[in-house]
Amino acid sequence: MLRYVTQLTLISLFAIASIGFLSAGTIDARIWEKFEDLAVNKDVRVDTTPGVRVVVQLKNNAVRTAGDQSPEDLAQQCEGAQNDFMDALRGAGLSKMNKDGKQDRFEVAVMLEYQYAVAGYALDEEAVKELAQLPQVEAVQLDVLNKLFTVEGRQITGSTQAASSGYTGAGVGVAVVDSNYDLLHPELGGSTNLPNSVVKGGYNFSSNNNSIHSRNQQDCYHGTGVASIVRRYAPQSDLYTLVVFPNAYDSNIAAAINWAVTNRNGTGGGAPIKVVTMSLGGGRYNGSCNSGVIHTAAGNALSNGIIVLAASGNDGWVGSTASPSCSSNIISVGSVWDANNAGYSPFPPAYCSDNNRRVDERTCYTNTSSVLDIYAPSEQVMCARCGGGTNALGGTSSACPAAAGMVAQLLDANSSYAGNKAAVLNVFQSTGANVAGDSGKKRINILAAIGGGGTTGGDGGDGGDGGDGSTGCSGDAYAGSLSGGNDSDVQPNGTYYQATRSGTHRGTLSGPSGTDFDLYLYKWNGSWQQVASSTSSNSNETISYNGTSGYYYWRVSSYSGSGSYDLCLDTP
């Protein structure tokens, strides 16, 4: 992740943990702390508007369930409630120039389009108290300011082969919520006149719709890199670039997600928006964080066919993740090493060290907990560099757009996944590679996911002979473990391999006694097709399959039992 004042790689929320949804008329205690910080010049932010920025939650802000009304109807209802609130503001003298010439005591910044909420700046503590007393107000919450944090997986995920087979993300729009972008870079279309060939639209929520383009490294290196990673995975997807930094308050991020909903059918001739990616995170949550304006905005996006992803964070926590990735409306993405012995230098805040870095091992800095959903490759990820050329981007900042690009590829292959977070995660989990260091979690294998895990087609090969239990290996040796019935691994190392000529593919599986592990071989032919299997009643299996050139992978599955196994592979 990436801190705004440094040069690392994920955008992070240095948010204090949310106190949850507040009861009617209550005030978030963190607001008083912010006023104290202002009094002693400890509050660090970019904007110079006096006061503390807050979110005023209005009454009747129940979360809409999918299908009960259109987004346009919801927006109209919210606008009516916001107009009533503005009338009450003026009636209370909170939004009217005082006789002595002083400014408004509450200055509106954002009217959230699909929420009963208004964000703005309260000039003093008395203004906050008066806001809470208005009959339209449910609660006054701190609008958390998010800060930039700092800290080649396309092959191992099968993304390159999926793209070469026609699954390029065509027809899918991806909204990137980040910093500024170098629109002059060829990977982002090479033109600041939108729409261009890559970026079809965008908006600057940080600075009153100032330009989304920049060539200032501090402003645009992160957004430029993140956006280009999406396109490197999904090379024919359309991008929508949304700026929320440096004034990345929760309300601005929610407004960016709302923009994606409003423009869900696409702008500038671009494809419909089906994915939102946010390499941002912060705060520390041991479980889910299902409250606040970002959570609500992401839920509305899901209801309108848009999958939202966020990075889990780079603090190195085990048992905790950052907000907003801990929202149940958002897919939380962690990172695995994309190469054995990948180059790496410890960075803040984790300052951790992985001495035995290997493919598909959880990076030591990745935050993980029960709410983390999926992993994607990171670290030496080549991407567009602000100002031209390329550079490497690491951290969960690069894993999240990689996952977003693969979601776009999945939607290109099967549009029924649109807005179906559970189905997307189910296919990624059932076809993904095991993650070392986070048992039960998977790293996306998009080629297997598009093929549905290779469950159809194929001629069954010769079926194997059940194996003889031999532990000797004259080919390449692999090891793994299965946690129980229906658990499975993809080999070699969670990915596929290419056979450049015809020949015999041999696999010998040796598993623990008292278990029943089975062995399968799949080949790519527009989709993954099972071509051979060995399914005896024990865990010693052998397959010998004569095949033509092409792409293959092996799957080890547990019919019953758990434990470690060894797999020996000989390929043409």
Q: Which sequence positions are flagged as catalytic?
A: 178, 222, 397
* 3-state SS assignment for residue 255: helix
Helical residues (DSSP H) of 461-525, grouped into ranges: none
Residue of 453, 458, 455, 447 whose CA lies nearest to 413:
447
Query: What distance in Å separates the CA atoms of residue 110 and residue 485, rounded to the nearest whole number?
Result: 51
Query: What distance in Å separates the CA atoms of residue 130 and residue 199, rounded to the nearest whole number?
Result: 44
Neighbours of 572 (CB within 10 A): 15
- Tell me the C-alpha to C-alpha distance, in Å, between residue 61 and each of 64, 174, 217, 496: 9, 28, 40, 48
Place of tokens 């002979």: 465
Q: Measured between alpha carbons, how far apart are the two ends of the chain, in Å?
A: 42
- Please report the DSSP string for 279-310 in residue order: -EEEEEESS----SHHHHHHHHHHHTT-EEEE
One-letter amino acid at 359 equals V
* 3-state SS assignment for residue 263: coil
| Phi, psi torsion values for 384, nearest 5 degrees | -65, 140
Residue of 371, 380, 413, 501 whose CA lies nearest to 158:
413
Query: What distance in Å separates the CA atoms of residue 100 and residue 449, rounded to the nearest whole number?
Result: 66
- Please report the DSSP string for 79-146 in residue order: HHHHHHHHHHHHHTTSSS--TT-PPPSEEEEEE-TTSSEEEEEE-SHHHHHHHHHSTTEEEEEE-PEE
| Phi, psi torsion values for 488, nearest 5 degrees | -150, 160
Is the separation of the CB atoms in 376 and 443 below 8 Å? Answer: yes
Residue 3: CB partners within 8 Å, gap ≥ 6?
12, 147, 148, 149, 150, 348
| Phi, psi torsion values for 86, nearest 5 degrees | -65, -40
